[in-house]
Amino acid sequence: MTANLFPTTYPTGQFILAASTCTYHIPTSSIVLVHNHHSPSTPRTSWNWFLPRGRKDINEPIHAAAIRETSEESGYTPTLLATSHNTLQPGSEEEHAEAFHMQLIPYFKRTGVRMYVAFYYLATIAEATRAEDYGSRFDGRHEAGYESEVVKIEEAVELLSGGRYVLRGGEVYDVVEKRVVGVDGVAEKFFEVGVVVRGWREVQRHFAKAEGQRL
């Protein structure tokens, strides 16, 4: 029997719950990204790009945390999108807004391993207009350099991977290995590339289905 790499149980004080969104602007086939500590003289792909994400507050529902963190870090307030994406939760025959992806990030302290658990939700914005007071709700020094943009899905893949991946014919292409790797072949440290592409495919399926039902 193979030993567990990390503990399988975590008492309170040894885990963190966090939430994020893939927030798409459907009319322009774009998504909301955040970056920080950039220099205008360096290539955009060298900046630190990421999906807005953060810890949930006490007594705050996890999906509400996803909306709040996206609004605070990006200046865009999303609306969660109910789709028919696959989930193991009971009652999934109907469209739902359950988490679309989950990430586990172990980190090590002198007292042992702690686990950061992040849930990702599908969401949209009707207008690609950032709040005028953007930045006023930044919390902590680490957010002081944050800046947000609404970028095309194709560019998002490049930015989130530092130029390692691009979209070719809707598939993820590895520039280094010079081959199509698909969303399942993306390196773990660039996992948000896979989340964005999977999410976009689900959003497209959702609206194509809705359009077909109207015809």
Domain at 176, CATH number: 3.90.79.10
Q: Is residue 169 in a domain? A: yes
Q: Is residue 210 in a domain? A: yes
Q: How far is it, in rounded angstroms, from Cα 99 to Cα 120?
A: 5
Burial degree of 146 (CB within 10 A; 0-12, 13-18, 19+):
buried
Residue 3, pLDDT score: 60
Q: Is residue 4 in a domain? A: no
The Cα-based distances of 28 to 39, 112, 125 in angstroms read 26, 46, 11
Per-10-residue mean pLDDT, the chain, length 215 = 74 94 98 86 91 97 98 97 94 90 88 90 97 86 86 98 96 98 96 98 93 67
Residue 215, pLDDT score: 47
Q: Is residue 9 in a domain? A: no
- The verdict on pTM exceeding 0.85 is yes
Q: Is residue 1 in a domain? A: no
- Are the C-beta atoms of 175 and 162 separated by less than 8 Å? no
Q: Is residue 105 in a domain? A: yes
How many distinct structural domains can be found in the chain? 1
Q: Is residue 2 in a domain? A: no
- Are the C-beta atoms of 99 and 6 separated by less than 8 Å? no
162 CB contacts (<8 Å, ≥6 apart)?
45, 46, 190
